[in-house]
Amino acid sequence: MTKDRSLALAVGIFIVIMYVESMQIAEKSSWQVYGSAFYPRILLAIMGALAVLLFINSFRNKKPSTSEKNIKDLKSFWTEYNKIIFLFIAFFVYVFILPIAGFIIATALYLFISQAILMGVKRKKKLLLNVSVTVITTMSVFVIFNYGLNVWLP
């Protein structure tokens, strides 16, 4: 069994467990458009679809990727995984500043920094794309939660 198949199966088991647990979330009240379990179930459906794609893709013959190489020393580990490490650091900073700065500011900073880590901002076009995606995503999530789901965000 490959790593991809194992991951897809583990994610599938996780999704089933979380879906069963979401049944314990209270049903929608008279003032809610959708119940509180609506958003988590959407995320579970998206995760499920991606897990199925990963499982199907794991049967294709492909060359081993660079991530499957043995890690020889700390320097090669850093050069290969530095973006992932920075993303984890950015997420922990986001979790820390969310209650202090509020949802809109903390999320906008997190999205901007995450995209800058992943795609860079050396060109004006990438910077404009980063800012656009940050603003649209942050405001969309805020509007969906506040006005669509009637859920207050910090």
Query: What is the C-alpha R_g of the chain?
Result: 19
Could you tell me if 86 and 94 are in contact, meaning their C-beta atoms sit under 8 angstroms apart? Answer: no
| Closest C-alpha to 115, from 104, 126, 100, 102 | 126
Q: Name the token pair of 125.
A: 């076009």
HEC string for 61-103? CCCCCHHHCCCCCHHHHHHHHHHHHHHHHHHHHHHHHHHHHCH
Dihedral of CA atoms 49, 51, 56, 59 in degrees, nearest 10, equals: 170
pLDDT tens per residue across all 154 residues of the chain: 678 888 899 999 999 999 998 888 877 777 767 777 788 889 999 999 999 999 998 888 666 555 455 545 667 766 777 788 888 888 888 888 888 888 888 888 988 988 888 887 778 888 888 888 888 888 888 888 877 777 777 6
Give pLDDT, residue 146. 79
Give pLDDT, residue 124. 82
- The model's pTM is 0.53
What phi, psi does 72 have (nearest 5°)?
A: -85, -40
